[in-house]
Chain A
Amino acid sequence: MKLAYWPGCVSRGFTPELHGSMALVAERLGIELVTLDRANCCGAGVIAEHNQELADTLNARTFALAQSTGLAMMNICSTCQGAQSECKQRLDADSAYRAHINEALSAEGLEYERDKDGFTNKNFLWVLVEDIGLDKVRELVKRPLTGLSVGPFYGCYILRPKHRLGYEENPDRDLYLEQVIDALGGQVVEYDGARKCCGFPIVTMNRETSLRQAGTHLGDALDSGADCLVTPCPLCHLNLDMQQPEAAKIVGRDLGIAVLHLPQLVGLALGFEPRQLGMNTHVASTEWVAQRLAGTVPA
């Protein structure tokens, strides 16, 4: 399987371990990634809040770059997924608007065409379940995550609003993380925060509310017996992992729970070592996860 790959900004910024682990895991899963190195930031909803047309044009450019490869597009960030889906919905809804946006792309020789060759833009999570398939994933597992209790954390942008994110055709997209954890041999942990907001978008505006959200969900996951969380969103990862010690202060309790990127969790089951997957660069220690998998901690 060959895919046009948009890694996003944060996976090459403050969470480089995500980009790195995706590359390793893709090869093992038989995905060839053609990186869209000329593509730009999705705007993360922030550019749309300044100028909707600007956000739509920037993402139309990314889609056009992907379409020029003739491949379907994959991202590894819930926020990219949501921000791009929002723009795509407007672009697809109105041909005159699309023509107007394409005017701005013509100088670069690009054009975004609705449904060209059945064009899709999917998060790695969706690709994993819908295109690779969980049976294939189960076959490829070398080290089942037996005894590892994993709490899913989706990120808002990949869950809501449902009408924009393909839930009519794929209604179980809000259950895929649980399905993947199960296919990898791990134990799914149900807890209150799995589909809630990490708070990251307002961390520079209202730090306390933002970090209270992150801290509350981390605490809930711990109380429910999670060894770690897994997320397909690097922005969630920033609030849940990088800011975790600060979030702990806000909610007034010890946290210290590992937060894995989705390709890292998959990578562990495919047989990679935690260090190869960059798990040593996290702020919240991932040592516990490694020990669980090595069987040095009784489940």
Chain B
Amino acid sequence: MAEYTLRVRRFQPEARTPEGEPEGPYWEDFDVELEETLSVLDGLLQARSDKDGSLAVRCSCRAAICGSCGVKINGQSALACKTQLQHASDEAARREGDDPVIVVEPMGNMPVIKDLITDMESTHWTKVRRVTPWLLPGGEEPERENVVPPETMIDITQTMACIQCGACVSACLAMEADPEFIGPAALAKAYRFVGDPRDSQRRERLYDLAQDPHGIYDCTHCFACIDACPKGVAPMDQIMRLRRAAGRDEKIHDRNNGHNHEAAFVKIIEKKGTLDESLLLQESYAPGIKGKLIPRMDAIKGLLTSIPTAVRGIRTGKMRSLSKLIPGVHPKLPGDAQDHVRRIYAHAEEHHEELNLYVAGEEGDESPDLPSSPAAAAAGSGEGTDAAGEEPDTGAEEGTGAEEETS
């Protein structure tokens, strides 16, 4: 048994000060005594049963399955039932030094109803519904089941692992600045259907999410959702896959300049090897000759708004060389290095391989055939798999290889 102090952010909507004013949120410390392998949720429940029955926390399964007990622990969004007390205490000690206090707050980016209970409806569920989270099949209904290639379904299992706890929404730094951002949970859910071979509305879904100013191009790449997710869904990775699908596969030129920016960046590195920032700015807003001859209104606006920044850059000396002033003057890599970069482009654009480590696994699980990998993982250590392509692979035809897991 060990003793822990939980510092809980409390809010009792009905509480009033002696003067009759609403009390507002406040901190309260609870000392609990529990086995160190027990969870922060266990600590909260002990505090509720022994110290204050009015302490409000939402929970059900206590096994990281139901997704009810999302909170912030030491500032990090997580499930209270999946975070061990000792681990949380060690983390607090690492940051704050001796006498660590485990700080527990309600999730962020959502209104607080009471204590640790947030309103999931007004943000999370509303945003999930925004992406039409159900299958929209097309064509004739099959006589029996839909027959689809197993690897396509395995590809979306990562998003299917979502338990809707809202931890990623709580952690999202883009949503903090733009509450209208569709957000990590809903966009991961969107990929679940965009990637589903049975869905008939792939392009329409992507077009909708690319055009929305608060859609896939509103994500700032901050990785907060990846660290917050208790189930390895990696919502940001799903958002990047939505961008690949929208821009590269469906060639959707969104009004947010998301695809233009990406296409310009990719093209500049092929030509120059390192980034020509002036050219990137210009090409992101007004790509190619067409973009310059017939610029869109928002492109003109975008370029005009960047003028003050450019002027400041010149004035301070940041942008005083020709290569920074004139787009395209930026030098190539030396010698034949640029040719080799071009060769890399040709190779990669031919294959477009995408390695999803959630599916394929890491280390000692080195089969190049993604769909068979769970079977390979179950089969053993993967010793000597340098020629993994040639090794006999019994799991390849059976799809997920779930049956092999008992071996």
Q: Do chains A and B stick together as partners? A: yes
Q: Tell me whether A246 and B257 are in contact (CB under 8 A).
A: no
- A-contacting residues of B (Cβ < 8 Å)? 94-95, 173-174, 176-178, 181, 213-214, 217-224, 226-227, 234, 240, 243-244, 247-248, 256-258, 261-263, 265-266, 269, 273-277, 281, 284-285, 302, 305, 308-309, 312-313, 316-319, 324, 333-335, 337, 340-341, 343-345, 347-349, 351-355, 357, 360-363, 366-368, 385-386, 388-389
Q: A40-B269, A93-B357, A213-B174 are in contact. List 4 more A-B contacts (CB 8 A).
A: A47-B266, A49-B247, A242-B309, A283-B316
- Measured CA separation A16–B348 after assembly (Å): 31
Could you tell me if A47 and B269 are in contact, using CB atoms closer than 8 angstroms? yes
> Which residues on the B side are within 8 Å of A242 (C-beta)?
309, 312-313, 318
User: Once A and B bind, how many residue pairs between them come within 8 Å at the CB atom?
Assistant: 237
Binds B, one of A24-32, A179-187, A201-209: A201-209
Residues of A within 8 A of B177 (CB): 199, 209-210, 212-213, 216
Contact between chains at A156 and B312 (CB < 8 Å): no
The one of A15, A58, A162, A213 in contact with B341, judged by C-beta atoms closer than 8 angstroms, is A58
In the complex, A16→B321 CA distance in Å?
11
Contact B275 A9 (CB under 8 A): yes
Asked whether, in the complex, the Cβ of A41 is within 8 Å of the Cβ of B269, the reply is yes
CA A213 – CA B177 in complex, angstroms?
6
5 contacts between A and B (CB under 8 A): A13-B276, A14-B318, A46-B261, A47-B269, A213-B177
Asked if B340 and A108 sit within 8 Å, CB to CB, the answer is yes
Give the nearest-CB partner of A46 in chain B: B265
Partner of B324 from A13, A38, A107, A245 at Cβ < 8 Å: A13
By beta carbon, the residue of chain B nearest A54 is: B348
> What is the CA–CA distance of A285 and B101 in the complex, to the nearest angstrom?
39
Q: Top 7 closest A-B pairs, CB basis?
A: A96-B368, A160-B223, A54-B348, A9-B275, A104-B347, A197-B222, A93-B362
Which DSSP category, helix, strand, loop or mixed, fits chain B's interface?
A: helix
Q: Is the CB of B181 within 8 A of A209?
A: yes
Complex Cα gap A28–B248 (Å): 47
Contact of A100 among B95, B247, B353 (CB under 8 A): B353
Q: Is residue A146 contacting chain B, with contact meaning CB distance below 8 A?
A: no
Chain A residue with the shortest CB-CB distance to B281: A204
Asked, given contacts A93-B362, A212-B177, A281-B317, whether A38 binds B223 with beta carbons under 8 Å apart, the answer is no
B334 pairs with A204, CB closer than 8 A: no
Given contacts A16-B318, A58-B344, A161-B223, contact A209 B366 (CB under 8 A): no
Chain A residues with a Cβ closer than 8 Å to the other chain, count: 77
Name A's B-contacting residues (CB within 8 A). 9-10, 12-17, 37-38, 40-41, 43-54, 56-58, 61, 82, 89-90, 92-97, 99-100, 103-105, 107-108, 156-157, 159-162, 171-172, 175, 196-197, 199-202, 204-210, 212-213, 216, 242-243, 245-246, 280-283
Q: Which residues of A contact B337 (CB under 8 A)?
A: 38, 40
**B305 contacts A207, CB within 8 Å?**
yes
Is A197 in contact with B174, judged by CB distance below 8 angstroms?
yes
Closest approach, in angstroms, between the C-beta of A290 and any C-beta of chain B? 15
Tell me how far the C-beta of A41 lies from the nearest C-beta in chain B, rounded to whole angstroms. Answer: 5
Is the CB–CB distance between A204 and B265 below 8 Å? Answer: no
How far apart are B230's CB and chain A's nearest CB, in angstroms? 13
Q: Once bound together, how far apart are the Cα atoms of A103 and B217, in whole Å?
A: 33
Once the chains bind, are B353 and A53 in contact (CB under 8 Å)? yes
Choose one: A82, A94, A246; the contact of B366 (CB below 8 Å). A94
In the assembled complex, which residues on chain A have CB atoms less than 8 Å from the CB atom of B362?
89, 92-94
Whether the Cβ atoms of A15 and B318 lie closer than 8 Å is yes
Q: Within 8 Å CB of A37, what residues of B?
A: 333-334
- Cross-chain contact A90 with B355 (CB below 8 angstroms): yes
Instruction: Tell me, in angstroms, the Cα distance from A263 to B150 when the chains sit together.
Output: 51
Could you say which residues of chain B place their CB within 8 Å of the CB of A17? 318
Contacts A52-B355, A94-B355, A213-B177 given; does A205 touch B218 at CB 8 Å:
yes
Report the minimum CB–CB distance from B263 to chain A (whole Å): 7
Are A13 and B277 interface neighbours, CB within 8 A? yes
